[in-house]
Amino acid sequence: MTKPRSSRTIREECTGRGKSCGHVSQIGRRGFLRLAAVGISLPHLALGLGRRLSPAELPDFSWLPSAPPLPPPEGQIIYVKTVDELFAAAEKVRPGGTILLADGVYKMPRYFEIHTDRVTLRSASGQRDQVILDGSESRHGELVGISYCSGVTIAHLTIQNVRFNGFKLNSNLKAHEVTIYDCVIHNVWQRGVKGPAVPEKDAEALSPRRCRVQYCLFYNDRPKRWEDDPTDRPETFGGNYVGGIDVMQARGWVISDNVFWGIRGRTGEARGAIFLWMDSRDCVVERNVIVNCDSGICLGNSHRARFPIHCVNCTVRNNFIVGAPENGILADYTQDCRILHNTVHCPDSRLKRLIRLVHDNEGLVVANNLLSGPEMRVETESAVLFRGNLTRVVPEFFRDIGRGDLHLLRALPDPEAAVDNLPEVPEDFDRQPRGHRTHVGADDPIGGTAASVRTAPGEQLENCRRLKTWPGCGFQLYG
């Protein structure tokens, strides 16, 4: 297929349904400047970006704790209130400096890049909904890039209406210790956060290290459509090449306390809300809430490409997942990974994949998970350690399914619900300490979780009256 000319080179690797694709971009600020100078840009397309959801349509996630505030900025501070000032600030800021954006909508004409060590880009007000970087009029398919630097922090802002990648860590050009904090990632039609593969000869030097994505909201107004992305066609990905976070060769990442809502492909086969693969190591995925997405948390996939193992020594713990009919939690070509104390609710899952284990998973531990739906799918011949998992459909025990709140109103009566604590999971979803004996799943009502997260039966009944059915998973979601 002839792809539109852009400021990046795309290499797609795809071997059919169920095998996700490598997506590697070669991109840099010098290349962008050269392209801009000669007038090469993406064709002007009808993006079909959709309207922003009203509060009645996007569930109210205020039951989750707010992001702890960042410390006040230090060193050089550049105040920005226009798009031109923003681009100028990126060139003038010194290592360790801060760019503070005034409230407003910034219509981005092109790709924007940070390429200086230890720079912070954040809203001056600290309100992430008040500073919006909008890509609907950009001539490029990617919005915010990070290259040639380490220690960058991006906080308290929104990016929206992006054709390809929202936040792009250009790992092949060096991007280490990046923090994306308390941001909204809205209507991004390939990946909200993308880290591509690095050249094999530079893997140790360039694999993105010690990055963090925390307290962010990823959501799309609707499933992906053909007009959102000129590269996602019937002969490539069928309109399903969309996901939340997709990182290759990650080293020591922490992905925590985020919300993912409505990340869906055209035919319900989107990639993971969180997807780590291609020799990712020592990562932790915890306390995330995933609702109304096609796929939840994916450690690896069935496409091996350069690496025989996708994820090594990664931990998935204390997450709430509602739905995700393609995969709730997937382990596919992993080594020494752990899936611990997660709660997944999808009672009528069409593929029965609340937890799915496939291909090689040597050293995998799957323990103390609560599955409200079918038994997990075990399609691996590896010696997996199973311990303390409980499968039982228990919607009446959850506080508010439609909002992804899978706190338990009370402990389950099953004797199997009380399990021995695991040293790898000293706390529950609310960071309450777990005792020697704890409860299966992400929430521990045994350990004395704060009363504010418990709901009276009358309130639960009222929540149920305001729900509507979402087909395919047998649970209910707010409209």
Q: Supply the mean pLDDT for the chain.
A: 85
Question: Each residue of 152-161: pLDDT tens digit?
Answer: 999 999 999 9
Lowest pLDDT segment from 281-295, 424-438, 455-469: 455-469
Cα angle 131, 134, 138 (rounded to 5 degrees) comes to: 145
Task: Kindly give the pairing relationship between strand 9-13 and strand 22-26.
Answer: antiparallel
Question: Each residue of 42-71: pLDDT tens digit?
Answer: 322 223 333 344 444 899 999 999 999 999
Q: What is the mean pLDDT of residues 119-139?
A: 98
Name, in order, each residue with C-beta under 8 angstroms of 204's C-beta and a sequence gap of 6 or more. none
Q: 3-class DSSP state for residue 401?
A: helix
Quote the percentage of the chain above a pLDDT of 70. Answer: 82
Q: How far apart are CA 472 and CA 346, in angstroms?
A: 9
Residue 229 pLDDT exceeds 50: yes
Question: Each residue of 305-337: pLDDT tens digit?
Answer: 789 999 999 999 999 999 999 999 999 999 999
The string of DSSP letters for 68-120 reads PPPPPP-S-EEEE-SHHHHHHHHHHPPTT-EEEEPSEEEE-SS-EEE-STT-E
Residue 395 pLDDT exceeds 90: yes
DSSP state of 209: B
Residue 7 pLDDT exceeds 50: no
Task: Kindly give the pairing relationship between strand 112-114 and strand 120-123.
Answer: unpaired
Q: What is the mean pLDDT of residues 109-134?
A: 98
With cut-offs at 50, 70 and 90, classify the pLDDT of residue 384. Answer: very high
What tokens does 468 get? 């509507």
Residue 461 pLDDT exceeds 50: no
pTM: 0.85
Residue 3 pLDDT exceeds 90: no
pLDDT value at residue 393: 97
Q: Which residue has the tokens 């799918």?
A: 377
Residue 1 pLDDT exceeds 80: no
Task: Kindly give the pairing relationship between strand 468-470 and strand 475-477.
Answer: antiparallel
pLDDT value at residue 447: 74
pLDDT value at residue 347: 94
pLDDT value at residue 48: 31
Higher pLDDT, 465 or 258: 258
Quote the percentage of the chain above a pLDDT of 90. Answer: 79
Residue 8 pLDDT exceeds 70: no
Residue 224 pLDDT exceeds 50: yes
Inter-residue contact 61 to 259 (CB < 8 Å): yes
Please, what sign has the CA dihedral across residues 239, 140, 158, 48?
negative
Give residue limits of the domains in the chain: 131-477
pLDDT value at residue 471: 39
Inter-residue contact 112 to 144 (CB < 8 Å): yes
pLDDT value at residue 473: 54
Residue 414 pLDDT exceeds 80: yes
Q: How far is CA 408 from CA 136, 436, 460, in A?
A: 41, 19, 11
Q: How far apart are CA 27 and CA 12, in angstroms?
A: 15
Cα angle 186, 187, 193 (rounded to 5 degrees) comes to: 70
Inter-residue contact 159 to 168 (CB < 8 Å): no
Q: Which residue has the tokens 């550049």?
A: 78
